[in-house]
Amino acid sequence: MTGPSSRHAAARTAWVAAQLEKARLLHLDGINFDLEDPIPPGHPLARNYTALVAVTASAFHAAIPGSQVSVDVPWSPFGIDGRSYDWHGLASAADLLFVMAYDMQSQIWGSCVASANSPAALVLRGAQQWLELGIPADKLILGLPWYGYRYPCANPAFAAGQEQLCALPPTPFQGAPCSDAAGDPPASRRFQVWFDSPQSLEAKYALAARLGLRGVGVWHLDCVDYRCSDAACRGETEGMWAALRAFTGAAAGSRQPAKQQTRL
């Protein structure tokens, strides 16, 4: 007779075997976990998730020498989007934690207005909180956005040019009354665009270097226009890659805050 724990173990074993087979077939050198469902404090799902990552890491390291197992984590370890996971256990089980320092307006508890997707002050606070929690710096990858949000502006005063703040239509998410899910309005509506530039990214890459983090990462690489022909567009695309030198130690240019643009 088998109980729930033995069935869970069997399911984990089968799932890991399937992922290993896929990795071998596609010549991959590891696996990334990205679970973002809310889990309340103390829930057994958090322990089960850690156990799955641990079993997977052990299997991948044994079968594919040099392979890496990474886990995506929110920009802060403290209850973002209702995620109360076993952070210490995940950090111990995995090779890397990929800190998703973007979509930081997923829960807006204050004024429901458009703002930066990855504000530098919050990026710093979140990284420090991971370190203060006791997660080693060499386990942390700072993930930053190569994309932005186009927000519809619900306030008539903005449309009339009388206000700079773009009030968002309430779009609840994980208990918060407002979120970045309000983005991407119809083309005919007045909107405001927030995105990271090479200069704002450079400042945050330099921050990761100062904190001694393991590395930096990108989400999404495919939002940059690699086919543009005019010099300004090419310069912006090349600048996104050049900004990474602020982490690797090569010379970098001036640093500026994230850009804001308004479009009709």
Walking along the chain (264 residues) 10 residues at a time, the average pLDDT comes out as: 68 95 96 97 95 97 97 97 97 98 94 94 98 98 96 86 88 92 76 94 97 96 87 90 90 38 32
* Whole-number pLDDT of residue 252: 39
* DSSP letters spanning 47-72: HHHHHHHHHHHHHHHHHSTT-EEEEE
Q: Residue 5 sits in a domain of what CATH number? A: 3.20.20.80
Q: Indicate whether 94 belongs to any domain.
A: yes
Q: Indicate whether 92 belongs to any domain.
A: yes
* Whole-number pLDDT of residue 264: 28
Task: Based on the residue annotation, tell me whether 36 is a catalytic residue of this protein.
Answer: yes
* Whole-number pLDDT of residue 4: 58
Q: Indicate whether 163 belongs to any domain.
A: no
Q: Indicate whether 87 belongs to any domain.
A: yes
The whole-model pTM stands at: 0.88
Separation of alpha carbons 55 and 64, rounded Å: 14
Q: Indicate whether 113 belongs to any domain.
A: no
* Whole-number pLDDT of residue 255: 35
Query: Under a CB-based contact definition with an 8 Å cutoff, are residues 234 and 228 in contact?
Result: yes
Q: How many domains does the chain have?
A: 1
* Whole-number pLDDT of residue 18: 98
Q: Indicate whether 18 belongs to any domain.
A: yes
* Whole-number pLDDT of residue 3: 52
Query: Quick one: angle between helices 4-26 and 44-63, nearest 10?
Result: 40
Query: Cα 26 to chain center, whole Å?
Result: 25
The closest alpha carbon to 75, from 107, 114, 53, 46, belongs to 107
The closest alpha carbon to 77, from 129, 36, 34, 42, belongs to 129
Tokens of 256: 């500026």
Q: Indicate whether 140 belongs to any domain.
A: no
* Whole-number pLDDT of residue 260: 37
Tokens of 190: 């007045």
Residue 24 neighbours by CB distance under 10 Å = 11
Q: Indicate whether 13 belongs to any domain.
A: yes
Q: Give the structural domain span for 62.
A: 1-100
Q: Among 36, 163, 202, 238, which one carries the catalytic annotation? A: 36
